[in-house]
Structure 1
């Protein structure tokens, strides 16, 4: 398997390789930079061997762009065979497989090179099931938001929100990765070198800093989804398949050894099953040690929702220790959060008893 993987990687690199005196040049536009081209450049230069040590050219000059091996976010052309990845042309409407958000240069580069990035990290073939799973997950959890931000696509239908009379309670515009990159641009009244070459050099340094900064966040996601999220699937699947041991309807899922990221995998596993009862409570030890305390967590109605499918009983909420023992009728109780989404007990048996009682209320 690994030999096939290595040969495929070498073949892909050879097909893409077209250098000038041994140096590959990546071009993007100069001027005000954005998160999408900053990430696109990072993915290529950091994770694809063809672009290791690549020269960066920031220009809008068509003649200079034509001389470059790869062009992102400028040039008015999308042609993967020629390594042209712009999305600003009027006819552009490409989306990631299975998604509706129009791609930016980040999404384009990720769509074409993301499998190779992940395959190298996992040492698997690009067409393996696990590579495909992580490829889709990183797009949906990280890259897609950058695509939407750059293309001016709102997370919610503005007209529907207005019709419902829903208004934002606060501004979160400065809290995004796009805003973080944007702040690395120079201010309008910053001193600028009079020499055009020096001014461009200063601007390019800022872009390089932005590309590295957003690249750090991408790399953290890459590490998480390949090293933690993906291995968690096996742990969650084991707990999901054994859930009838604790409740005949399968409403309680227990991760016996230790906690692992479970929400994504649980929703996927439920979707693969025939219609039946949903998991309502997930039990797991706080630490992977024999005498660990146990948590009981409610399954949200959706991954990013604060609303639980079945919150812990209202009478238990905000109580702790002996007081909670008396209210719940379960000894060893530690706490139940004021919102009812999570609670704890000193033992597994106690946490399971809390879950079973909560099902009845």
Structure 2
């Protein structure tokens, strides 16, 4: 498709231009553009230049996902070179343009949101967490890296039980590309403008998801660490081996933080049950939740007793021998009691069975 040079040349009024390739677009460059434009002051109001013309890309302040260069000092962030193999610190996945931009600008983005120095511990925690929880999947998708080793799955005879519909972050963006048989304007400039509008929509769409995660990890996940740390530090008040932890005031996202704290202090043993009130009010009911063997696992380190599972209220009182019982889930991963004392009694009894 012909390029419109007048449309693409960087303006002379100081507006920064971000270059990326035209044609079929992907989640990585869509997110890279969003992160820069939305969260880095240098790129506020930046113009987007979508082209593969090297002369036009040379005129851009920053280029992502095209150009065959990874030169951060020159703001060049491509990953398609044969020799490219850069990964995020302590992660195994080769970066895409999203990962490159996040690796270089992510700390600044998070530091601005937290109003803390880029080298602070809190910024580092969120920077690493958002990469592992959000960005890495896009890097893998763009580089054709499977989440599981195909040979290992085949050797184990494992197959999917159902289709997930291909609904991934990458697919959400990919589906905004035009279909193969959609009409295309005959005028090259009009055709490119229509394609660019689709890319802008894709960048906003994946950007919304990034922004929601940024809000969650800075405003909810990070403050939860203190709540979980307090529960972890006091766990031996309820069990001499530290197998019961209690969030006294209210529930908070606890799994990531608990696993991290256990790694930092492995001599304290593993927590098996986390107790917390359903609501932050004095007369709230209490939950007893089993700690999974891994964050996304449905398998618990020690499920609640099989004899309790699927029962409720007075019937459960009689079976468990604890008054005020509310329920135990049929899979045994969670239960409830009307009071903290009752939930604690259930946890202690479960430890003995």
Give the TM-score, by structure 1 length: 0.94
Matched with 1:191 is 183
Q: Given the alignment, which residue of 88, 95, 98 partners 2:90?
A: 98
Q: Secondary structure at the match of 1:146?
A: helix
Matched with 1:222 is 214
Matched with 1:176 is 168
State the 1:308 CA deviation: 0.3
Gaps of 5+ in 2: 1-9
Matched with 2:36 is 44
Q: Given the alignment, which residue of 312, 317, 321 partners 1:325?
A: 317
What is the rounded CA distance, in whole Å, between the counterparts of 1:243 and 1:147 in structure 2?
39
What is the rounded CA distance, in whole Å, between the counterparts of 2:316 and 2:23 in structure 1?
61
- The answer to whether the Cα contact below 8 Å between 1:301 and 1:308 also exists between their aligned partners in 2 is yes
State the 1:19 CA deviation: 8.0
User: Does 1:132 pair with 2:124?
Assistant: yes
State the 1:174 CA deviation: 2.3
Q: Given the alignment, which residue of 269, 275, 288 partners 2:280?
A: 288
Q: Given the alignment, which residue of 214, 234, 246 partners 2:226?
A: 234
- The answer to whether the Cα contact below 8 Å between 1:325 and 1:332 also exists between their aligned partners in 2 is yes
Q: Secondary structure at the match of 2:119?
A: coil
User: Does 1:122 pair with 2:100?
Assistant: no
Cα RMSD of the aligned pairs, angstroms, is: 1.0
Where do 1:27-176 residues align within 5 Å? 27-176=19-168
State the 1:20 CA deviation: 4.0
What is the rounded CA distance, in whole Å, between the counterparts of 2:233 and 2:12 in structure 1?
56
- The answer to whether the Cα contact below 8 Å between 1:298 and 1:308 also exists between their aligned partners in 2 is yes
Give the TM-score, by structure 2 length: 0.96
What is the rounded CA distance, in whole Å, between the counterparts of 1:88 and 1:30 in structure 2?
15
- The answer to whether the Cα contact below 8 Å between 1:45 and 1:51 also exists between their aligned partners in 2 is yes
Aligned residue pairs, count: 344
Distance 1:159 1:239, change over 3 A: same
Matched with 2:194 is 202
What is the rounded CA distance, in whole Å, between the counterparts of 1:50 and 1:19 in structure 2?
16
State the 1:21 CA deviation: 2.2
Q: Given the alignment, which residue of 296, 317, 324 partners 1:304?
A: 296
- The answer to whether the Cα contact below 8 Å between 1:33 and 1:207 also exists between their aligned partners in 2 is yes
- The answer to whether the Cα contact below 8 Å between 1:259 and 1:284 also exists between their aligned partners in 2 is yes
What is the rounded CA distance, in whole Å, between the counterparts of 2:245 and 2:138 in structure 1?
35
State the 1:169 CA deviation: 1.0
What is the rounded CA distance, in whole Å, between the counterparts of 2:25 and 2:40 in structure 1?
22
- The answer to whether the Cα contact below 8 Å between 2:262 and 2:269 also exists between their aligned partners in 1 is no
Q: Secondary structure at the match of 1:334?
A: strand
Distance 1:216 1:281, change over 3 A: same
What is the rounded CA distance, in whole Å, between the counterparts of 2:299 and 2:11 in structure 1?
54
Matched with 2:256 is 264
What is the rounded CA distance, in whole Å, between the counterparts of 1:242 and 1:19 in structure 2?
61
